[in-house]
Copies of this chain bind each other. A is one copy, B any other.
Amino acid sequence: MNFPFYLAGKFQTSKTSLFIKSPFNDEIVGQTWMATNADFDYAIAQAEKAFLITRNMPTHQRAAILNQIANELEESREYFAKLITLESAKPIKYSLAEIERTIQTYRIAAEETKRIENEYFSIDWTPAGTNKEGFIKHFPLGVIAGISPFNFPLNLTAHKIAPAIATGNTIILKPSSSTPLSILALAKIIDKTSLPKGAISILPTDRQTGNILIKDSRIKKITFTGSPSVGWSIKNSAYKKRITLELGGNAAAIITPSGFSQETINKCVSGAFSFSGQVCIHLQRIYVEKTYYNEFSRLFVKETEKIITGDPLNKTTDLSAVINNDNKKRIESWILDAEKQGAKKVYYKKATGNIVNPTILTNTNNNMKVNSQEVFGPVVCIEQYDDFQEVINKVNDSPFGLQAGIFSDRLSEINKAFNEIEVGGLIVNDIPTFRVDHMPYGGIKDSGFGREGIKYAMKEMLEPKLLIKNTF
**Chain A: residues with CB nearer than 8 A to chain B?**
58-60, 63, 100-101, 104, 108, 111, 114-116, 118-132, 134-137, 232, 235-236, 239-240, 258, 408-412, 414-416, 418-419, 423-430, 434, 436-441, 444, 451, 463-472
CB contact under 8 A between A430 and B120, given known A125-B438, A469-B414: no
Shortest CB-to-CB span from A49 to chain B, Å, is 17
Contact of A58 among B127, B137, B408, B468 (CB under 8 A): B127
A239–B222 Cα gap in the complex (Å)? 14
Contact of A428 among B116, B122, B470 (CB under 8 A): B470
CB contact under 8 A between A135 and B111, given known A128-B436, A426-B465: no
* Residues of B close to A115: CB separation below 8 A: 115, 121-122
CB contact under 8 A between A424 and B466, given known A239-B235, A409-B412, A440-B136: yes
A269–B471 Cα gap in the complex (Å)? 23
A58-B130, A120-B136 known; 17 new pairs, CB 8 Å cut-off, are: A58-B124, A58-B127, A59-B124, A60-B129, A100-B126, A115-B121, A136-B440, A232-B240, A410-B411, A411-B428, A415-B472, A418-B465, A419-B472, A424-B464, A426-B467, A426-B468, A430-B470
Query: Would you call A60 and B239 a contact (CB within 8 A)?
Result: no
Shortest CB-to-CB span from A188 to chain B, Å, is 25
Q: Can you list 16 contacts pairing A with B, beta carbon distance less than 8 Å?
A: A58-B131, A60-B126, A111-B111, A120-B136, A120-B137, A134-B439, A136-B440, A235-B240, A258-B410, A409-B410, A409-B412, A411-B411, A412-B472, A415-B472, A434-B468, A439-B468
Contact of A124 among B60, B463, B471 (CB under 8 A): B60
Minimal Cβ-Cβ distance residue in B for A135:
B120
